[in-house]
Structure 1
Amino acid sequence: MTLSEQFYQSEKTGYLNEQFRLFHIKDQTKKEFAYHYHDFHKVVIFISGKATYHIEGKAYNLRPWDILLVDRHAIHRPEIDASVPYERFILWIQNDIPWQELLKCFQKANDRSYNLIRLHPSLQEKLKEILLELESATKSDAFAKDLLAQSLFLQFMIYVNRIFLEKQYIFDRKSYSFDSQIADILQYINHNLKEDLSVDNLASRYYISKYHLMRKFKEETGFTLHNYIVNKRLLMARTLISEGMPVTKAALESGFSEYSTFSRAYRKQFGATPSNIS
């Protein structure tokens, strides 16, 4: 299976038809997770175990009740030590929820290239209380359970946004690791998908040999440089088309200079023509 095929199939492992969905999972399974992305946003609340979470070139070493913000289309994978049980809450959130301001934390995580919220004890207890009430509400058959769950979801995400946007979290430089050069290159790529992102241009820009760049990029992200850029451009194009932009313009805005190349890559990636977006 090629990396492109892995990228496509990984996306199809998660579907979200509701505005949000909460999972509470505890398992102890030896499993290798591939790098993948989703079409929805994800909040990971780590409870216990031994886990390192890789998101766009950074590796976060988690402590109990750490929160990770994973933007839709962010490349990520967990690395789990199966010697102990792994417990976590996972919250999936649609991109088109009516409360768009609640998605600001994900955009800010992208801007900062930093995804971790490590809570002070008082905030940890507050969010834990809301989260447990939300879990209870989603499992309940009581009167107006959906309204209660929605209100608790809103409370939780309001607090998450306030904490992250206002930097009310504990910042610990030892909590994550990364290759600074690759991190800079990733940030440049994701903010300049329309530009010339050839390996020669990137190598020249960052004063690194192109062979060293390709090797380091694959080591840090799990993707070849070319495959990463193509897939990010395709995701951007699909988003623009879904927002109403003409297909040919979306292809150009996403960095594809030839429409035939774009159309072929799009069909291979998503199994549909660019104009066929549901």
Structure 2
Amino acid sequence: MGTFQEPTEKSGYLEQEFRLFHIKDQTKKEFAYHYHDFHKVVVFLSGRAAYHIEGKSYYLKPWDILLVSRHAIHKPEIDPSVPYERFILWIRDDIAHQELTRCFQKASDRSFNLIRLDSQVQEHLKELLYDLSASLKAEEFGSDLLSDALFTQFMVYVNRIFLEKQYILDQKSYTYDSQVESLLRYINHNLTADLSIETLARKYYLSKYHMMRKFKEETGYTIHSYIISKRLLMARTLISQGTPVVKAAHMSGFTDYTTFSRAYKKQFGAPPSK
């Protein structure tokens, strides 16, 4: 994706309730901003990497955990001079034990995605992850059951730590622009409201050109394309839950159905009726 004027691209596809990847590579690949239809846990093991998630930049240390919520727009920035190793866990939004996804909703509400652990808790989660990785590859009796149990155990601990703020809060581990963060938070919590550039500029007492330039600098995409993309994702979720298409468009902040239908087809490759 050469320009961020267009809606952000989706990446990855998940059929199972969860998948675990253990990856070590060294590449000069540059990532575009993207989103997933599932939640993602990134466990950073080694290398030099930063993650940009919804306007915040996180600078990672070994065994840092990032919670990337479904539809959160993000990208990694990797230093290609050293190997980059990580565990990545993909988790469907509609898993049987819905309470295990609470941490992702809380990450969105807080606009904060990083879990940094003390060494004792770190060792416990490290052991669970390696056990889960081994179990998923095994073919012995009950491997599937054991994998599900280990996944549940890992996610229970991650939720406890994040929901109860039992993590190390290091102010040097992330950076953000407070005005852009406020804008992002307001947009995401008020997708059906009037989000015109003029309205947002008045609300935040900013020159609209200064606001637009700052938003693009901090996030990599325009205010307009960000709002349209988030509204389309909301509409698609409503449609998948059985909401009639026209009603879903209205509930997602679109006042003109033709504009909605055209934008939907452009972002998802098919009309909303499909």
State how far apart, in whole Å, the 2-side matches of 1:130 and 1:78 are: 25
State how far apart, in whole Å, the 1-side matches of 2:85 and 2:7 are: 26
State how far apart, in whole Å, the 1-side matches of 2:161 and 2:193 are: 34
State how far apart, in whole Å, the 1-side matches of 2:44 and 2:120 are: 17
Q: How many Å apart are 1:4 and its aligned residue?
A: 5.9
Name the residue aligned to 2:147: 149
Amino acid corresponding to residue 37 of structure 1 in structure 2: Y
| Identity of matched residues, % | 69
- Post-superposition, which runs of at least 4 consecutive aligned residues in structure 1 deviate over 4 A? none
The yes-or-no answer on 1:67 pairing with 2:31 is no
Name the residue aligned to 2:4: 3
- Secondary structure, in 3 states, of the residue corresponding to 1:3? coil
TM-score with structure 2 setting the length: 0.97
Name the residue aligned to 1:223: 221
Name the residue aligned to 2:168: 170
Deviation per residue, 1:150-208 (Å, 9 max, x gap): 11000000000000000111111111000000000000000000000010110110011
Q: How many Å apart are 1:6 and its aligned residue?
A: 6.5
Q: How many Å apart are 1:7 and its aligned residue?
A: 2.0
2:249 to 248, 251, 272: 251
Answer with 226-235 or 267-276: which moved more. Answer: 267-276
1:103 to 101, 104, 110: 101
Name the residue aligned to 1:38: 36
- Secondary structure, in 3 states, of the residue corresponding to 2:67? strand
State how far apart, in whole Å, the 2-side matches of 1:3 and 1:224 are: 7
Name the residue aligned to 1:161: 159
Deviation per residue, 1:208-257 (Å, 9 max, x gap): 11111111111111111100000000000000111111111111111100
State how far apart, in whole Å, the 1-side matches of 2:50 and 2:3 are: 25
Give 5+ residue unaligned stretches, structure 2.
none
Q: How many Å apart are 1:84 and its aligned residue?
A: 0.9
Q: How many Å apart are 1:5 and its aligned residue?
A: 5.2
Name the residue aligned to 1:135: 133
Name the residue aligned to 1:82: 80
Q: How many Å apart are 1:3 and its aligned residue?
A: 3.2
Name the residue aligned to 1:93: 91
**Total equivalences in the alignment:** 273
Does the aligned pair in 2 maintain the 1:51–1:78 contact within 8 Å?
yes
Name the residue aligned to 1:205: 203
Give 5+ residue unaligned stretches, structure 1.
none
Name the residue aligned to 2:179: 181
Amino acid corresponding to residue 44 of structure 1 in structure 2: V
State how far apart, in whole Å, the 1-side matches of 2:172 and 2:27 are: 27
State how far apart, in whole Å, the 2-side matches of 1:2 and 1:219 are: 13
